[in-house]
Amino acid sequence: MPVAILIIATIALSLIMAAAWLMQRATGNGGWADVFWAFGVGTSGIIAVLASSDMVSPARQYLVVTLLAIWSLRLGGHILSRTRKSHDDPRYVKLREEWGALANSRMFFFLQSQAFIGAMLVICVYVAAARPDADLEFPDYVGALIMLIAVAGEAIADLQLKRFGKDPANRGKICDVGLWAWSRHPNYFFEWLAWTSYVLIGADFDGDYVHGWLTLTAPVLMYVLLRHVSGVPPLEEHMLASRGNAFRAYQRRTSVFFPMPPKG
């Protein structure tokens, strides 16, 4: 990846997340940070790929751009809709409580760390698009299919959760229907799955494009973050505090991340 494009993408994401910091501070709603991140990563990645003169295959270049646009618009649009209707994200509320008087400054640097993560993902997208094989091959199509399945799966999970929450009869209950009966966090699982698509598109299994294996960074990074850092742990802590034994029972019968048949 040309150094200039890498630097510009990193600076752009840093500025985007600085704007996100201002927005969440002005509104008191940390959810805006996720809106800016989803749209920011998508926009930066698309511009980086389209602005490069290193792309051997225009078909792969536009395939990657299309997949990234679908992911960004779906995720960003969903979070935007949710954020506009909510007061704040409980994960960010918890962070502010822990940080106390230093909440504003620590939130700024926390969002800058998200900008760095976004830059790493943009690099992976770029590396996938730059694979030097001129024609699309079978792994490219499999990667595209995985992305479409992941985007559809995450959208279905979000819709099922939204419908469950709208039913007055479910007030105070745990959503354990549909995909939520197979995983406590199906939306996070499909978000992780989406980033595995770039491994198939970028990795050269003949060994001629060593850089392609850098795309493994994306799913590894997203798994660690979603499963062990900023995704599952704070959300489960919030659910235990608000739902108590009902959520503990849900934990016992339902897989935490990877979808599996529910236990009896």
Averaged pLDDT, groups of 10, the chain, 264 residues long: 78 97 94 97 95 89 97 97 88 91 95 96 95 92 98 98 94 94 98 98 84 94 96 93 93 97 87
Q: What's the pLDDT score for residue 118?
A: 96
- Is residue 32 within 8 Å of 83, Cβ to Cβ? yes
Q: Which of 86, 39, 2, 62 is nearest to 201 (CA)?
A: 62
Range of the domain at 178: 3-253
d(CA 129, CA 132) in angstroms, rounded, equals 9
DSSP 8-state code for residue 27:
H
Inside any domain, residue 259: no
Does a structural domain hold residue 261? no
151 inside domain: yes
Backbone angles phi, psi at 76, to 5 degrees: -60, -40
Reading the block at residue 4, the tokens are: 């200039």
Give the type of residue at 222: M
Is position 89 within any domain? yes
Give domain status of residue 242, yes or no.
Answer: yes
The answer to the question of residue 260 being in a domain is no
Q: How many structural domains is the chain composed of?
A: 1
pTM score of the predicted model: 0.94
Q: Are 157 and 187 in contact (CB under 8 A)?
A: yes
Whether residue 92 is contained in a domain is answered as yes
